Chains A and B, each alone.
Chain A
Amino acid sequence: MAPPTSTAAAKGFDIVETYNDLLRSDPDLTMPIAAIEALVLLLTHSAASTISETLDLLAKSTAHLKKSIPNPIGLSAGTDLFQRYLITTLQRPGQLGPAGDFKAIRTHLLSNGRLFIRRAKESREKIAAFGRGFIRDGSTVITNGGSRAVASLLRKAADEEGGPSVVRFRVIYVMSSTSKGVDGPSGEEPEGMETVRALRAKGVPVATIPESAVAYALGKADMVIVGAEGVVENGGIVSRMGTYQIGLLAKAIGKPFYVVAESHKFVRLYPLGQYDLPIEQHVIEFKSEEDMAEESQQQASAANTSADGPIELPLCDSVDFTPPHLISALITDSGVLTPSAVSEELIKIWF
């Protein structure tokens, strides 16, 4: 939990720190939920006594949070949702409307914010219930990344009543070559290894392959199930680097490509392509021998000076955009949606 660093004064409350703490403390927490929780905590600590003050505080903190996090796509889904919720609540006539008592409004907001967080955590269970039917007996699923929604779905399928894996299925797990396990010292294991172990413990045969073997392995698979960091307005997804190529390959080979995502991950964003995402990531970097030498020199000199420049996304956390035409369906807690239904859901939330 976030340590309440100061008393009621919002000035002392560090939203970024809170957000990061929340994410670290609970491995099951997604970015949008962490953001909402951080905002709720902010409101608890704030001394704002009017609506406009509250809104102003929220807007400022949100902007600050977005600026301080290298990849704000996921968290912006949460902050936008919360802000939207706040405004609709305030516009509603009655006790909680603009005419009502601000204290009542505040308590209502806070309690609802907590309720929202609790529901969001439950949504993964719901998704698993919706998606279970997709994994049939004898099928082989190919997946990647460290999505908790995918993991819970696979576990649910493995946990079918009647002991270890009545639904017999196999999993091909694509291990990212850029994940921390490869980059850093051998201490850390690659993303998703935990899920692999859990599935194996439940009696599900799991194969791990490198990204380069996806095309080779797809012939053996029946479907692709991936997670998402954010679902954008046109029904595409922003997800761990490498998802796009799996989508392309699945389309080319003709295997269904399912995305598992909670509906609070829907972002109001409309990327037109890979390079239209609102984040800075240096995946492609052209270097010559000279540049390499220069860089190593700089690294040596700047090793101990803390980076204060623009935040760049480390390569292991980089994302790509999978366009909607590659996606067969999105398994969400509000049902199984086609990509085009995402915008409908988003519009429902926003208007």
Chain B
Amino acid sequence: MPPPSSSPTHICLLVKHISSASTMAEPVHPAPTMPFASSSSAPGPAQQSTAENPRQTQTLPIRDSKDANATNSDKAPHKGKDTTASAVGGDGAGDKALSPAELKKKAKAEKTARRAKEKLEREGPAPAVGGAPAAGAGGSQARPSATSKKDGAPGGSQKGQRAPPPRRGSVAAAQHGAAEQQKKRKEDKSVAVFGHLYGQQRRTTIAGAGKEVHPAVLALGLQMRDYVVCGSSARCVATLLAFKRVVESYTTPLGTSLSRHLTAHLSHQITYLSTCRPLSISQGNAIRALKLTIASIDPSTPETSAKATLCDFIDSFIREKITIADKVIADSAAQKISDGDVIVTFAGSSIVKETLLEAHRQGKRFRVSIIDSRPLFEGKNMARALANAGLDVQYSLVHAVSHAIKDATKVFLGAHAMTSNGRLYSRVGTALVAMSAKERAGGVEVPVIVCCETVKFTDRVALDSIVVNEIADADELVSPSPPQQVTDLPDPAAAAATAQSDSNKKGAHRAPSNPSADTPASSSDDSPLTKWKDTPNLQLLNIMYDVTPAEYVDMVVTEMGSLPPSAVPIVHRMSTNM
């Protein structure tokens, strides 16, 4: 049975890493007749008990026994791959016995193992959405499934028939300590096209943050992670304000200069922030400007005055690039609103909100149609704010876009960034709204206007929304209620959520079809997707942004004037040179 014997190799290796973090290893003695169950459930002990179990030696080789394994095994000739794979992690000891071809295979296997290891590190904290400590969550989730599999071991033979590709999915299996079936399943959970975006999972706690990280930054990181601080400009301002506090409480260590050391010190803060949520373009631009200022400080400047300079810089940056810019944009964009307009907007852009409020203040009579989307529901706040101000507001979700766009006269959109090829990079769904507006009646009648500060311009180029994007936790899609937040009050909409999930139940044929999943162990709300991670062939994709082609944008309102999207790179060049 070559295939099953190869996977434990990986498991074994991987368990070395995770067994230290989690108390996963259980004293189970592997039964030779059930290679699958034994190897999967008890890799840890197996490692120690190789000597007693000859079969184990063969299937679960470790570095000490590798030499023997390669030579002893009578099946070695036709199991070449496994044997070499088993040599993974070996030191120089056994290499002399291996032919060049075998060496090559060994190197390959090592690479596989390394990748698997990296992957494990990435996926480790994944299940810990609810704010449980990352490492602990990985372990505790894995354990129940492992034991249950072991208890229900009869399934082992059936599972053993499956011959998974030897290199795939071992990570997941190790993590769960479960069947190959599960390995494969787990592997598939990242949508292939967006595979490159599944980087580090978002940080869930402040545990493990470096001691250099300032408390203000620690708090901000979690707030950003939980979307308490959400939106490109808001994140930019919050980051700068937090950094201002960092600068204020900073003292230059002996033997270095402020301009050199503070940059490194800030890097720690930035790294921490980016593990909470990938940095936005505006944050990146602001940080770049700040670092430039720090670097340009004369080392002979006294520390207090240097710090004062930096704080002034941060204040004026926020004022010039965001506060005043927003006002200017709102003023000039409001001029484009005329009486009788029906303005369609998507999600909750603060600057679009300001624009609409400004136009309302100017006494213009118009209607607003807000299109919103799951899972963030950013438009809700905007709807409330506009309605409170006395505007006529219609609120609908993105599936009603064609209906909402039917009587639209103008579309106002916010931006996360504007790329150098004039494309708009914004909350996912924006492109759909812009396209609906443009494709309606030839696109002449409904101008699409983007309100965007120049601090959001980037010299990057976006051709599609696949290469550059951000993937949020897919679990946000599962529960009908907003994600549970560490930093916010419990959500009041829980009642509505359960009601909705009840109605959803009728269409839930996936859960019943999986007989092993009918024990509602942990889930409080039984959305059919709750167990999506254990449901085969089911992938969830929670993408954050999309790219709107430049042809769909008529005008970009910035603090430097109104531009066609093609002028974005010019203005960006100018605003960064100044």
Chain A positions near chain B (C-beta within 8 angstroms): 233-235, 268, 270, 272-273, 276, 323-324, 340, 343-344, 347, 350-351
Contacts and interface: CB of A to CB of B under 8 A. Distances in A.
A233 B566 contact: no
16 contacts: A233-B562, A233-B563, A233-B564, A234-B555, A272-B410, A272-B554, A273-B444, A323-B444, A340-B566, A340-B567, A343-B566, A347-B560, A347-B561, A347-B563, A347-B574, A351-B560
B567 A344 contact: yes
B16 interface: no
B447 interface: yes
A54 B570 CA distance: 32
A270 B562 contact: yes
B355 to A, nearest CB: 14
Contacts of B449: 272
Interface centre among B410, B444, B445, B449, by most A CB within 10 Å?
A: B444
A351 B449 CA distance: 23
Contacts of A343: 563-564, 566-567, 570
A235 B574 CA distance: 20
Contacts of A273: 444-445, 447
Contacts of A235: 564
Given A273-B444, A273-B445, A347-B574, A340 B561 contact: no
Contacts of B564: 233-235, 324, 340, 343
A268 B561 contact: yes
Which range contains the number of B residues in contact with the other chain? Answer: 10 to 19
Interface of B: 336, 410, 444-445, 447, 449, 554-555, 560-564, 566-567, 570-571, 574
A350 B561 contact: yes
A272 B336 contact: yes
B447 A344 contact: no
Nearest to A278: B335
Given A233-B562, A235-B564, A272-B336, A347 B570 contact: yes
Contacts of B570: 343-344, 347
B158 to A, nearest CB: 63
A251 B566 CA distance: 21
Contact of A272 (B447, B560, B566, B567): B447
Nearest to A272: B447
Contacts of B567: 340, 343-344, 347
Contacts of A340: 564, 566-567
B338 to A, nearest CB: 8
Given A234-B555, A273-B444, 10 more contacts: A233-B564, A234-B554, A272-B554, A276-B336, A343-B567, A344-B567, A344-B570, A347-B563, A347-B567, A351-B560
A276 B336 CA distance: 8
A140 B563 CA distance: 35
Contacts of B555: 234, 270, 272
Given A272-B336, A272-B447, A347 B571 contact: yes
Contacts of B444: 273, 323
Interface centre among A235, A273, A276, A350, by most B CB within 10 Å?
A: A273
Nearest to B574: A351
Contacts of B445: 273
Contacts of B571: 347
Contacts of B560: 347, 351
Contacts of A324: 564
Nearest to A342: B564
A272 B445 CA distance: 9
A347 B560 CA distance: 9
A346 to B, nearest CB: 8
Nearest to B566: A340
Interface centre among B410, B445, B566, B574, by most A CB within 10 Å?
A: B566
Contacts of A350: 561
Nearest to B570: A344
A351 B567 CA distance: 13
B561 A233 contact: yes
Interface centre among A233, A234, A272, by most B CB within 10 Å?
A: A272
B282 to A, nearest CB: 21
Nearest to B564: A234
B4 to A, nearest CB: 62
A253 B2 CA distance: 69
A337 to B, nearest CB: 12
Contacts of A323: 444
Nearest to B444: A273
A61 to B, nearest CB: 23
The 4 closest A-B pairs by CB, nearest first: A340-B566, A343-B567, A272-B447, A270-B562
A77 to B, nearest CB: 15
Nearest to B571: A347
B272 to A, nearest CB: 37
A270 to B, nearest CB: 4
A326 B444 CA distance: 12
Nearest to B568: A343
A275 to B, nearest CB: 9
Nearest to B555: A270
A65 B560 CA distance: 26
Nearest to B443: A325
A51 to B, nearest CB: 23
Contacts of A234: 554-555, 564
Interface centre among B449, B562, B571, B574, by most A CB within 10 Å?
A: B562
Nearest to A324: B564
Contacts of A233: 561-564
Nearest to B557: A270
Contacts of A344: 567, 570
Nearest to A340: B566
A160 to B, nearest CB: 35
Interface centre among A234, A270, A273, A351, by most B CB within 10 Å?
A: A270
A84 to B, nearest CB: 12
A205 B26 CA distance: 99
Contacts of A276: 336
A270 B554 CA distance: 10
B418 to A, nearest CB: 14
A269 to B, nearest CB: 9
A273 B562 CA distance: 15
A170 to B, nearest CB: 32
A40 B410 CA distance: 41
Nearest to B449: A272
A323 B564 CA distance: 12
Nearest to A276: B336
Contacts of A347: 560-561, 563, 567, 570-571, 574
B155 to A, nearest CB: 63
A233 B555 CA distance: 10
Contacts of A268: 561
Contacts of B447: 272-273
Contacts of B574: 347, 351
A218 B562 CA distance: 35
Nearest to A347: B570
A321 to B, nearest CB: 11
Interface centre among A268, A324, A340, by most B CB within 10 Å?
A: A340
A333 B445 CA distance: 33
Interface centre among B410, B560, B563, B574, by most A CB within 10 Å?
A: B563
Contacts of A270: 555, 562
B422 to A, nearest CB: 9
Nearest to A350: B561
A235 B550 CA distance: 15
A171 B562 CA distance: 38
A273 B561 CA distance: 18
Nearest to B448: A272
A351 to B, nearest CB: 6
A347 B336 CA distance: 20
A270 B558 CA distance: 13
